[in-house]
A = this chain, B = another copy of it.
Amino acid sequence: MPVNKNELRISMSEHQKADRDIQGAGGGGTNGTYLSYDNPALTASSDTIHNFRSRNDSSYLGSNDFIVIDNTKKRNTFAETIKSALPWTQKKLRNSCTRKKLFRRLPILSWLPRYNSECAVGDIVAGITVGLTVIPQALAYSNIAGLSTVYGLYSSFLGPFVYIFLGSCKDVPVGPSAISALMTFQATAGYGPEHAILLSFLTGVVMLLMGLFGLGFLIDFVSGPVSSGFTSAVALIIVTSQVKDVLGIRASGNTFIETWKSLFSDIHNTRVWDAALGIVCIAVLLILRIVGTLKFKPKQGEEITSFKKLVNKFAWLIGTARNAILVIICGFIGYSFCLNGEPPFKLIGHVPQGLPSVKVPPFGFEKTVNGTTISYSFGQMVSNLGSGIIVVPLIGILENIAVCKAFANGKMVDSTQEFIAIGVSNIANSFVQGFPSTGSLSRSAVNNSSGVRTPLGGLYTCVLVILALLFFTPYFYYIPKATLAGIIIAAVIFMVEVKVVKPMWRSKKSDLVLGFATFIACLVLALEIGILVGIGINMLFILYHAARPKITVEKLVSKENNEYLMLTPDRCLIFPSVDYVRNLVTKHSLRQGIPVVIDCSHIYGADYTAATVIEILTQDFAARDQPLFFYNLKPSVCSVFEGLSPKDFFVFYNEDHIDQLLKERSYVKKEREILSA
């Protein structure tokens, strides 16, 4: 078969490596290695020589766009390589401080010049809507984080402002989220707000460092099932933590099970009014949620009337602002009860008025408990926070990137920029006594459906929270605790990802097992341990994949009627799998006793351990005079194998050559037989 250049695919990335590969392969001949390299493919600067498929009929000529025909590049000397590396380095350096880079790091520069009145309208509506959502959520999430109510508000206004300048995704509403609040609680449990504020600072620093050092890939190692299991567990834990406020009882506990035990032991003290209010709130919120999705549809062929349009708009508004509406109504109820004495349900109580003072986050502090002063050094605080310093930023950025991806619409998410934006937001937050915040998944939907156009929407959210802090905090006193608990429960129960069970079952059952394992681990152990368990199990899946390749075995007949065994491993040859592959190859080869060809089309990588085993394999075959050939070996893999200068190592790239190779080998064989006879 004449080899057709068009069948050859060349990677668009031109690695210098490819040239070295070819040289390595060519040089192999001096080591007593026979290489039938007459495939023109190998003279091109390619690092992926592909197996030839059924494209050799002329109708499948590919374009020449990516075919490198420049053969002069074939053998670079070291000096030439260095020479060519210089301009490349210069270019890289230039690139790192270009206008493009600046625009990437300050996304506001891209959209601000094109800002118009249409954008402004969208951003104002969305910013205010998000503000109406974030204020009740902030009050509620402080409770999840185990902090006074006002800290939620402190965490909600600077983040969106910083994000205007640095944020790359218009839909991200930075602020406290249910997950970040719960993680904060678990990391700082019992240590009070100073630890939470320091955690916010450290979270920001870790995120920033991760962004700058390109560690964004770390979040790739959290798979869908692990993330679903984790989120679902978080939701259940949060619901559990709020049940006590709905029932008006006391309960404590660090894990899911402990908390439920504690709840059941105190359930006889349930306060009827709190419970009734809480349950009504949840019901109302769920109903309003449905109302928000209702829509009058125009009859076929008719235009929608403006009345119906108005009703649709109103329904959407009710649904979106349901938390704010409920808080206002319940606040009024609480207020009216207070006018007539003690209300029958618990209220959230005093919320300090005014903006937080701007101060450096507490790197060590003193606390007076029952007359004794305990001082905490920075080191002690860090050791109290423990693994939270790593896990809180990771989970935070995971949630944020999830928001970005959900609204990316096929565009790429610049995760490095998000690390920087959320990192700086958290550092800024820690100067105004905020706790760790991130791009909230629940508010992002509100933001998006309110028609946000740019991150400038955050400005209006910021202003609204500041107004609330300045003027409305006295009124927050009257909000019943059960209402806030109801808001949290009605929001987070939808985070229990029941809907992924069915597709996961149909798609990959082992992933469902993994998701459940993560879910259970997160409920039974601490959250951060739970997610690490999930990630660990998932990595074992990958390692198992690498360790146990599948090998296809077939008996083929060559052109000249020689029978041979074709063995095709389906993935790379690296250390955990090579012995397994060697055993399989040996087994099948011994059983059949005919020449063996190992088809390396799918082997995209190899290591030193593989090379040693291949060397032993060639020795074994040579010892029992059974021919062994390697077919379609990628030059990069070939050079790994040739590093050990194996004898009797035969590679071919054209199936026609099998007979030629066999002839040469059997000739040698016969000669040997004559000698020994």
Contact = CB atoms under 8 A, between A and B. Distances in A.
Interface of A: 1, 9-12, 47-48, 50-57, 59-63, 65-66, 217, 220-225, 405, 409-413, 503-508, 510-512, 538-539, 541-543, 545-547, 550-559, 563, 566, 568, 570-572, 574-577, 579-580, 583, 586-587, 590, 601-602, 604-609, 611-612, 616, 619-621, 623-624, 639-645, 655
A63 B575 contact: no
A550 B541 CA distance: 21
A96 B413 CA distance: 54
B554 A503 contact: no
Q: How many copies does the complex hold?
A: 2
B608 A9 contact: no
Contact of A607 (B55, B508, B557, B611): B508
A645 B507 CA distance: 9
A10 B405 CA distance: 40
A615 to B, nearest CB: 9
A11 B604 CA distance: 20
Contacts of A641: 507
A504 B556 CA distance: 35
Nearest to A223: B575
Contacts of A552: 9-12, 48, 50
A606 to B, nearest CB: 8
A12 B224 contact: no
Given A542-B542, A552-B11, A640-B507, A412 B586 contact: yes
B220 A9 contact: no
Contacts of A1: 54, 57
A576 B503 contact: no
A605 B545 contact: yes
A580 B550 contact: no
Contacts of A605: 545
A76 to B, nearest CB: 18
A17 B50 CA distance: 29
Contacts of A504: 608, 643
6 contacts: A10-B554, A53-B53, A62-B556, A220-B575, A571-B571, A602-B604
Given A221-B543, A221-B575, A571-B572, A508 B640 contact: yes
Given A221-B575, A409-B620, A575-B223, A63 B557 contact: yes
Given A410-B586, A410-B624, 20 more contacts: A1-B57, A50-B552, A51-B51, A53-B53, A59-B558, A62-B556, A65-B555, A66-B553, A217-B576, A220-B575, A223-B576, A223-B609, A224-B608, A225-B608, A409-B620, A410-B619, A410-B621, A410-B623, A503-B645, A570-B604
Contacts of A48: 550, 552, 568, 570
A54 B547 CA distance: 30
B220 A580 contact: yes
Contacts of A217: 547, 576, 580
A507 B546 contact: no
Contacts of A412: 583, 586-587
A147 to B, nearest CB: 34
A511 B553 CA distance: 30
Contacts of A563: 63
Contacts of A612: 224
A539 B590 CA distance: 32
A568 B9 contact: yes
Contacts of A506: 642-644
Nearest to A626: B410
Chain B CB within 10 Å — which of A52, A546, A655 has the most?
A546
A508 B578 CA distance: 15
A556 B655 CA distance: 25
A643 B508 contact: yes
Contacts of A601: 51, 53
A571 B604 CA distance: 8
A388 to B, nearest CB: 23
Contacts of A558: 59-60
Given A586-B410, A602-B604, A607-B508, A553 B220 contact: no
A380 B61 CA distance: 74
B539 A543 contact: yes
Contacts of A642: 506-507
Given A221-B547, A223-B607, A550-B11, A542 B507 contact: no
